[in-house]
A = this chain, B = another copy of it.
Amino acid sequence: MSAETRKRLHDIIKMTNYKPSDVARSLKSQRSRLIGVIISDISTPFSSALISGISSVFDSAGYVPLFVNCNNNAQKERAFIRDLVSRGVEGLLVNTCSYENPDLIEMECKGLPVVLCDRPVKDYNFNIVTSEVVHPISSLISHLKSQGFSVPYFFTQQLSSSSVRMLRHDAFIDSIEKIYDVADPIEYIRNTRIDKQGITKKYLNEILTQTQGTPAVLGSNTMTTIHLINELSQIGAKIPYDIGVCGPDDWSWGQQLDWAGLILPGITTYVIESDEIGRQSAKLLLDIIRNPQSEKTAVYLKPEIIIRSSTLLKG
């Protein structure tokens, strides 16, 4: 291109204030540089860290992640999947809120690059980045046993929306069967709700009064665990002397902040690094977009257990 033409062009661009339209470009090129990211519930710290990890990867790769929030509504999730695909996204990163997900399976079968974040779905092997479920839970339970707690109780919110919750539930049952040699593990499950007053408190009072030895409780996630601590402090129970408390921590923001250490007496947890799940799943999706023929991949992060005072009966 001659210098003269270049200048003329440049002038015209200036004059007419020309801005290329990505919409038209997408239509023509069939490439949007857009990635659809479906988040089950964006209002939790788990999602914040997840999203943060995801953005960091796509930003430096020149892709624009579009985040949408299903608010735990499987219906909405289906609609968003269709919407994003019809908007020409080149791939989908899905932190799903529906364990059964035929639409997503269909899309992936048709060749759309899909990676799941954290939560698996039923009957189909997607690419996925998640965290190990069984090992950390059984470690927690071994630890409780070694500290002399009696059989722990598992407090969980409704299982249906989160496959991870179900897996944790199952892992808990297996673990107390093996480690505590319990015959009727289902007896140690407590379905609760955070938004509804009194349910948790009722269960906790029963456990505190009827347990032989020192009881312990395990929250299915950070929200539930904090809720348990809240209720126990209102009841006036002393942790860990009256009752032990522990659970997974899916609220980590890297090392920046440590809620489980701040809330006295310090809560025993294992950390799910959601920012890392975000980063790795985003990278995996990029790999798949670049090389659509690649093998299915499942990555399992290995959480480490952090023992704090809330489960220390002995020394």
Residues of chain A having any CB pair with chain B under 8 Å = 19-24, 26-27, 32, 41-45, 47-49, 51-52, 55-56, 59, 64-69, 71, 76, 80, 82-83, 85-88, 194-195, 223, 226, 229-230, 233, 253, 256-259, 262-264, 275
Contact = CB atoms under 8 A, between A and B. Distances in A.
Contacts of A69: 51-52, 55, 59, 65
A22 B26 CA distance: 11
A98 to B, nearest CB: 17
Number of copies: 2
Contacts of A59: 69, 71, 76
Contacts of A48: 42-45, 47-48
A16 to B, nearest CB: 14
A20 B44 CA distance: 34
A195 B257 CA distance: 10
Contacts of A20: 86
Given A23-B88, A67-B67, A194-B256, 20 more contacts: A19-B86, A20-B86, A21-B86, A23-B27, A27-B27, A42-B48, A42-B51, A42-B55, A45-B45, A45-B48, A47-B48, A52-B71, A55-B69, A59-B69, A64-B68, A66-B67, A195-B256, A230-B258, A262-B263, A263-B264
Contact of A65 (B68, B226, B257, B275): B68
A257 B226 contact: yes
Contacts of A194: 256
A97 to B, nearest CB: 14
Q: Which of A48, A49, A52 is most buried by chain B, counting CB atoms within 10 A of its CB? A: A48
A162 to B, nearest CB: 17
Contacts of A195: 256
A231 to B, nearest CB: 11
Nearest to A21: B86
A22 B262 contact: no
A257 B221 CA distance: 14
Nearest to A88: B23
Nearest to A257: B226
Contacts of A223: 256-257
Nearest to A37: B67
Contacts of A83: 22, 64
Nearest to A259: B259
Contact of A32 (B23, B27, B51): B23
Contacts of A26: 23
A275 to B, nearest CB: 8
25 contacts: A19-B82, A19-B86, A21-B86, A22-B86, A23-B23, A23-B27, A23-B32, A23-B86, A23-B88, A27-B27, A41-B52, A42-B48, A42-B52, A43-B48, A43-B253, A51-B67, A55-B69, A56-B71, A64-B68, A64-B83, A65-B69, A226-B257, A262-B263, A263-B263, A264-B264
